[in-house]
Amino acid sequence: MARTAGSHSDITGPRVREAALSLFAQHGYAAVSMRQIAKDVGVQAGALYNYTPDKQSLLFDLLRGHMDELLTARAQERVPDTPLAQLEAFSKFHIRFHLERPLAVFISYMELRNLTPENFATIEELRRRYEGQLETILRDGHEAGAFHVVDTKITTLAIIAMLNGVNTWYRSGGRLSLPEVEAIYWDMVRKAVT
């Protein structure tokens, strides 16, 4: 046996990435074998190497793709005039974007240590760029007298951590709708900095 009926690169390729994303999120990068991913796709392990040079690239491409999407989506958002409105837009954007991609968000935080040093540096730089946007909003708002923040850097990290926490409990179709969640978190963020 060899090539199977209906096999197509543009079908198998995405399925490999989907299977890897799902399995990495469930069990962790190190705990998932190439044979498990292959089984999920319905293919032999060797066939995966038509779509990725190695296992490490599979992880790295998922993380870089996620960060690229994040920065691109953020760049397309309208930027309001006042610091307060900017902070609201950022908070709600962050929650919405993250709730739409729970698995990618999850591995983007959990699997950083399984990246090679070079790959880690790349992802870290993208993350720094994103979080820097929040820090800029806070600093501008602080200088304009709109916010009361003791330490801009730490406040940035505290807000990001709080917003990311939403992924630990939110399940779509649950008790609260997305706008309700956005409102609750924005309420807490706003009060924490004013």
Partner DNA sequence: GCTTGATCTGAACAGGTGTTCAGTTAATCT
Partner DNA sequence: AGATTAACTGAACACCTGTTCAGATCAAGC
* Nearest distance from C-beta of residue 30 to a copy of itself, angstroms: 4
Cβ distance 134 to 159 under 8 Å? yes
Distance separating the N- and C-terminal Cα atoms of the chain? 67
The interface region with DNA, picked from 28-36, 90-98, 122-130, 167-175 by CB under 7 A, is 28-36
Residue 161 to residue 67: CA distance in whole angstroms: 17
Q: Are 86 and 186 in contact (CB under 8 A)?
A: no
Q: Is residue 161 a contact residue for DNA (CB under 7 A)?
A: no
CB of 8 to DNA, least distance (A): 6
Contacts with a copy of itself, residue ranges (CB under 8 A): 26-31, 110, 113-114, 150-151, 154-155, 157-162, 164-166, 168-169, 176, 181, 183-185, 187-189, 191-194
Nearer CB in complex with a copy of itself: 52/114: 114
User: Of these partners, DNA, a copy of itself, none, which one is at the site of residue 116 (CB under 5 to 8 Å by kind)?
Assistant: none
| Binding partner at 6 among a copy of itself, DNA, none, C-beta below 5 to 8 Å by kind | DNA
DSSP 29: G
Nearer to a copy of itself, 12 or 130 (CB): 130
In sequence order, the 6+-apart residues with CB closer than 8 A to the CB of 162 are 185, 188, 189
For residue 47, give both structure tokens: 């066939």
What is the distance of C-alpha 95 from the center of its chain? 11
What sections of 42-175 are H helices per DSSP?
55-75, 83-100, 102-110, 117-143, 152-164
Non-local CB neighbours of 118 within 8 Å, separated by 6+ positions: none
How many residues would you count in the chain?
194
Residues 30-69 as x/- pattern, contact with DNA by CB under 7 A: --xxxxx-x---xxxxxx-xx--xxxx-------------
Letter for the amino acid at 154?
I
Could you say which of a copy of itself, DNA, none residue 1 binds, taking C-beta under 5 to 8 angstroms by partner kind? DNA
Which of a copy of itself, DNA, none is residue 146 near (CB under 5 to 8 Å by kind)? none
Q: Which is nearer to a copy of itself, 78 or 191 (CB)?
A: 191
Binding residues vs DNA (CB under 7 A) = 1-12, 32-36, 38, 42-47, 49-50, 53-56
